[in-house]
Chain A
Amino acid sequence: MERRSFLKSFTAAAACVAVLPRMASAADEAKKVVGPNEMNYATAVAAITGGKAVVESAKVKVEAPEIAENGAVVPVKVTVDSPMNDKDYVKAIHLLNTKNGNARCSNVYLTPANGEAFFGTRIKLGGTQDVVAIAQMSDGTFLSAKQNVKVTIGGCG
């Protein structure tokens, strides 16, 4: 083999090796799927409160299992202590998670006709995290409560 042709093939091979890892990482990035409504927890809370303070309160109760064997079905119940009359009622119960791709689960807008501030559902959790309920009161304040849920099998994918 002539020196020139050897050098040519060598540099071509080296270039291939150099390019390979980059291609691999690009493929990894392509694999990471971004959901249609990606939003992190802090942004989701800010969108609800509009920057107002959220106070942790014993008036709000989040009932969720401490250990969820299956993250695909986690039962959650939220109750807020309120008289639910025309002057003093819970305007909305916002249910959030801290680590899913989309931190928002549901925004439930109540009226005094409900008689009781209650919302129950089943949610998907991708891993161990907090389930947070924010209650928007009729006087404009925000109360919250949270419950940590340990997930042994993730519920997304």
Chain B
Amino acid sequence: MKTLIKIKPKTYAAGDIVKIDFMAMHPMETGMRKDKDTGVLIPANYIDEVKFLFNDTLITKMVIWESLSVNPLFSISFKVPSAGTLKVIAKTNTGQSVESSEPITPKG
């Protein structure tokens, strides 16, 4: 699972509220779709939990269901307290887990 973390705007100071976009390349199978060639049901495979942590402290926890789009986007706000590391952990219902991180570097 490929992931991407974007922080908007690119430059920010401590105390600013920024938007964090987390994108994951994932098919988000609902378990209700059939294979077009064989007619066999494709088993459910979707991201069911996303956690945002700053310096290992939980900021936001999301419980996700299969009704999110393919290659889902998760966007939240974050008030930057200081420099540190943002970590995002995404888990799927099939037990797969991906961890990605992004440095938080406020200027000024």
Report chain B residues within 8 Å CB of A144: none
Report chain B residues within 8 Å CB of A117: 77
Closest to B70 in A: A72
**Main SS of chain B's interface residues?**
strand
Which residue of the partner chain, among B32, B54, B58, B77, contacts A33 with CB atoms under 8 Å?
A: B32
Across the interface, do B65 and A108 meet the contact criterion of CB distance under 8 Å? Answer: no
B46 → A minimal CB distance (Å): 9
Across the interface, do A36 and B44 meet the contact criterion of CB distance under 8 Å? Answer: yes
Across the interface, do B73 and A114 meet the contact criterion of CB distance under 8 Å? Answer: no
A139 to B2, CA, bound (A): 39
Which residue of the partner chain, among A107, A110, A111, A124, contacts B68 with CB atoms under 8 Å?
A: A124
A123 in the interface (beta carbon within 8 A): yes
| Total count of chain B residues near the partner, CB < 8 A | 35
B72 in the interface (beta carbon within 8 A): yes
Across the interface, do A104 and B67 meet the contact criterion of CB distance under 8 Å? Answer: yes
Knowing A97-B67, A104-B67, A123-B67, say if A113 contacts B59 (CB, 8 Å): yes
Across the interface, do A102 and B66 meet the contact criterion of CB distance under 8 Å? Answer: yes
A36 → B minimal CB distance (Å): 5
Q: Which of B44-83 contact A (CB under 8 A)?
A: 44, 54, 57-70, 72-79, 81
Mark interface residues in A68-91 (1 if CB within 8 Å of B CB, else 0): 000011100100000010000000
B30 in the interface (beta carbon within 8 A): yes
Across the interface, do A111 and B73 meet the contact criterion of CB distance under 8 Å? Answer: no
Across the interface, do A106 and B65 meet the contact criterion of CB distance under 8 Å? Answer: yes
B36 → A minimal CB distance (Å): 11
A-B contact pairs, 15 of them (CB 8 A): A37-B66, A100-B67, A101-B32, A106-B62, A109-B62, A109-B63, A110-B76, A113-B54, A113-B59, A114-B77, A115-B17, A120-B75, A123-B69, A124-B30, A124-B69
Interface residues of B (CB under 8 A from A): 17, 19, 21, 28, 30-34, 41, 44, 54, 57-70, 72-79, 81
